[in-house]
Structure formats: C-alpha cells, structure tokens
Amino acid sequence: MERTFNRRRALRLLLAVGAAASAGGCGFALRQTPDFAFHSIYVELFNDASLGRELRRQLEATGKLQVIQEAALREKAEVVLQVLQDVRERVVVGRDAAGNVNEFVLRFRFRFRVRTPAGKELLPEVEITRQINQSYSDTAALSKESEAQMLFADMQSDIVQQVLRRLAAVKL
C-alpha cells in the first residue's frame, strides 16, 4: 500500500515538473508593464472623466513615463492623448409579463486619439466599447445598483488596460 502511495506521489511530482517546464517553453510569461516609444504624455480630458483619471494613475504607475498634469505644460509632452468620449449607459433590454424591468445592458464607451503637441496624428480616433448583461429585480434594487457600479468599475479597468496596450504600439 505504501509503495503504491509513493509511486503515485512520484508520478504527481514528475507531472508537476513537466507541466512547469512546458509552460515556460510555450511562451507563457506574466504580463509586464508596457514599453512606450515616448517618455512624456499629456492626457487631455474633455470633462473630469473618471476613466481619464484612472488612465493617468496607471500611466504614472508604470514608472516609465512623465505624465504632465497641467495644460500650460502640454507642449512639453511628446504625446497628447485626447479623450473624446467617456460614456456609461444602462439600457433596458428585458421586461416581464407585468412590464417590470428584469434585465439591463450596461455599456461603457471610450473614444480617444493620440497626437503630438504639434498636431501630427499618431493613433487615429479609436473607440473601445465594453458591455455586459445584468439581471434586475425590484426586490433587490439597492444591491443591483451596487452590482452595476462594480461592473462599470471592472469594465473601466479593462478599457484602461486596452488603452495602455494601444499606447505601447504607438511609434513616433
């Protein structure tokens, strides 16, 4: 019995080592902070967009960029990211027989473009849209509202990561 147990343990260890070795050979690697072709950026917000603020924080957190905050210093940036649209929508898509809402679509749209301070276009206007369905019940209205805010926050984080990847592809 003990011999079978030791044989199984050895087989599991061998499989674990083999899986770890093959994962490294397949190109798997943890996601790194992106490398940018520029050293400074100015994020121009059309209003005090929450996604724009999170984007600024993420750009600063890379430690690779100087994020210029003041509009007066905009010309010192190598790249200007212009936020054109930052819209959250909550659309009714389902009703029950009594006419009460039972499903929403939560949609987040973000449009931006990237230029030099002189106006040369580096990345044409891009729109990133995320949406997710949310069930709804009048009896749980407060918790469903909290859930919607959490879903919007998750979508916002995902969009910020997509913007960072697109910025990493920009060539000066």
Q: For residue 87, what pLDDT is reported?
A: 92
* Residue carrying the six token digits 């997509």: 162
Asked if 104 and 92 count as a contact pair (C-beta separation under 8 A), the reply is yes
Spatial separation of the C-alpha atoms in residues 148 and 161, rounded to whole Å: 20
Q: Of 162, 154, 169, which is closest to residue 123 (Cα–Cα)? A: 169
Q: Of 40, 34, 46, which is closest to residue 164 (Cα–Cα)? A: 34
Q: For residue 32, what pLDDT is reported?
A: 72
Q: For residue 111, what pLDDT is reported?
A: 94
| Domain membership flag for residue 10 | no
Q: For residue 92, what pLDDT is reported?
A: 93
Domain extent, residue 36, equals: 31-168
| Domain membership flag for residue 3 | no
Spatial separation of the C-alpha atoms in residues 46 and 62, rounded to whole Å: 24
pTM over 0.85: no
Q: Which helix (H) or strand (E) holds 167?
A: helix 141-168
Spatial separation of the C-alpha atoms in residues 161 and 128, rounded to whole Å: 11
Per-residue pLDDT of the chain (172 residues; tens, 9 = 90+): 556 667 777 777 777 766 666 666 676 766 677 889 999 999 998 776 788 889 999 999 988 899 998 989 999 999 999 999 999 999 999 999 998 899 999 999 999 999 999 999 999 999 999 999 999 988 898 999 999 999 999 999 999 999 999 999 999 8
Total domain count, the chain = 1
Q: For residue 2, what pLDDT is reported?
A: 58
Spatial separation of the C-alpha atoms in residues 49 and 137, rounded to whole Å: 30
CATH number of domain containing 110: 3.30.160.150
Spatial CB neighbours of 64, under 8 Å, sequence gap ≥ 6: 33, 35, 36, 39
Q: For residue 15, what pLDDT is reported?
A: 73
Asked if 137 and 161 count as a contact pair (C-beta separation under 8 A), the reply is no
